[in-house]
Structure 1
Amino acid sequence: MADDSQDLIKVREVTDIHSNWSEHGSGEPGKFSFQLILDDGAEEAVIRPSAKSAKVLVGEFTAGKSFYYDTDREVLLLRDLE
């Protein structure tokens, strides 16, 4: 019998987002990260996009009404974008 547990998708609602930027040496480009609070603190995930992707994500976070994160595949799902 095959193990179906690998086929399950574990998706949690993003209930809060914390953003961060940190310097990595004088004159060096900094690093962005977003801490995703999932299901009111049941779990957390951190994503570290490039500066260009971070700019796009901020726009998506502003335009979206709900977000979900697939913790197994590390995929951010955006719904109801305006």
Structure 2
Amino acid sequence: MADQRQQASGQTEHAFRVRQVTNMQASWQEQERGKEGLFTLQLILDNGVEEYILEPHAEDLEPLLKLFATSKHTTFDIGRKVLMFSNLCIE
């Protein structure tokens, strides 16, 4: 019975690896002179425990930055590659 609980717990931990986004660095890289560049957002997770690089399309960058600015608590599910923005003011 204890082995089953440990196995179930391990599967849950493996399925959901959620970390808090504690810092972020944005950059833009020229790809070809006069052509669209490449935006990257380096997510610093749990004060440097892990990092993850996002490469959003230019049209996604502005809404993402607005969500980061509005959210008081942002988390990132590493396995599912999902950003979750909490405590958004919707009024």
TM-score using structure 1 length: 0.89
Take 1:77 and 1:55, find their aligned partners in 2: how far apart are those partners?
A: 16
Please state whether the residue corresponding to 2:36 is helix, strand or coil. Answer: coil
Shift of 1:8: 2.7
More helix by share: 2
Residue 31 of structure 1 pairs with residue 38 of structure 2? yes
Task: Give the root-mean-square deviation of aligned CA atoms.
Answer: 1.6
- The structure 2 residue matched to 1:49, chosen from 52, 56, 62, is 56
Structure 1 match to 2:77: 70
Please state whether the residue corresponding to 2:64 is helix, strand or coil. Answer: helix
Deviation digits for residues 4-36 of structure 1, max 9, x if unmatched?
527631100000011011111111101111000
> Structure 1 unaligned runs (5+)?
none
Take 2:29 and 2:63, find their aligned partners in 1: how far apart are those partners?
A: 18
More strand by share: 1
Deviation digits for residues 31-62 of structure 1, max 9, x if unmatched?
11100000000000111110010111111111
